[in-house]
């Protein structure tokens, strides 16, 4: 795992993220379990090289860290919609034990993988909601400080989907490939939505562009 360790630590460093040794070890164990399980069930594309997995799944997920670290003085609870193999929610939970995470994933095989990893990594800050996101509504409105989802749907579909869970204090973090997808969200009928922060960057090895947009709503 020397190559994987170097790629993960070097990539995080290039993104301005400081990974502690314990967190790095857990992420490497996560990677090993993902590769092993992926031989049996389709968690990610079968032909994905480990170097690509590290960049496009693990490092991409870690780009949300600054948003959570900036508010770490207050209790935080992040909802990851359509968590799949745990990106970004379980990756973040692995390095942020003080933050609570709920992973919403309706597909049974992925739920089995997520729960296996939570046990293997001995995470006490993470729960899996094994149903569609609609089953969380409306009794958990305002329970989450942050809501995100990776490759679930474009903003025009994702924001109305999570709207029943959003309070004025909730921050929705959109993970995008380009800023053009933000063009019309302030006019969505599910709003009013307000873009509070936009950060653009490139992944450390492929230089693929990424956009993180923090969005809030007024009731």
* Structural domains of the chain sorted by starting position, each given as residue range(s) with its CATH number in brackets: 2-217 (3.40.50.150)
Give CA–CA dist 80/149, Å, rounded.
5
Lowest-confidence segment of 10-24, 139-153, 162-176 by average pLDDT: 139-153
Q: Which of 121, 119, 84 is nearest to 105 (CA)?
A: 84
Read off the pTM: 0.95
Q: Residue 1's pLDDT is what?
A: 62
Structure tokens at 160: 């109305």
pLDDT average, residue stretch 38-53? 91
Q: Angle of helix 2-14 relative to helix 21-38, nearest 10 degrees?
A: 120
Give CA–CA dist 71/93, Å, rounded.
15
Pick the more confident residue, 71 or 106. 106
Q: What is the mean pLDDT of the chain?
A: 92
């Amino acid at each position: 795992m020397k190559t994987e360790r170097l790629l993960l630590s070097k990539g995080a460093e290039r993104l301005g993220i400081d990974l502690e040794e314990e967190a790095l070890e857990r992420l490497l164990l996560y990677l090993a379990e993902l590769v092993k399980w992926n031989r049996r069930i389709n968690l990610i594309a079968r032909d994905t090289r480990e170097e690509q997995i590290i960049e496009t799944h693990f490092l991409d997920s870690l780009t949300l860290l600054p948003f959570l670290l900036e508010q770490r003085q207050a209790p935080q609870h992040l909802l990851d919609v359509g968590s799949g193999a745990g990106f970004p929610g379980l990756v973040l939970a692995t390095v942020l034990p003080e933050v609570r995470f709920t992973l919403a994933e309706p597909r049974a095989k992925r739920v089995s993988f997520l729960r296996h990893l939570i046990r293997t990594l001995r995470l006490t800050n993470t729960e899996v909601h094994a149903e569609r996101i609609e089953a969380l509504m409306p009794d958990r409105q305002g329970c989450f400080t942050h809501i995100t989802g990776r490759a679930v749907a474009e903003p025009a579909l994702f924001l109305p989907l999570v709207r029943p869970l959003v309070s004025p204090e909730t921050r929705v973090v959109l993970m995008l490939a380009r800023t053009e997808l933000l063009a019309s969200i302030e006019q969505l009928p599910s709003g009013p939505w307000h873009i509070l922060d936009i950060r653009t960057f490139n992944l450390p090895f492929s230089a693929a562009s990424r956009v993180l947009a923090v969005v809030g709503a007024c009731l």
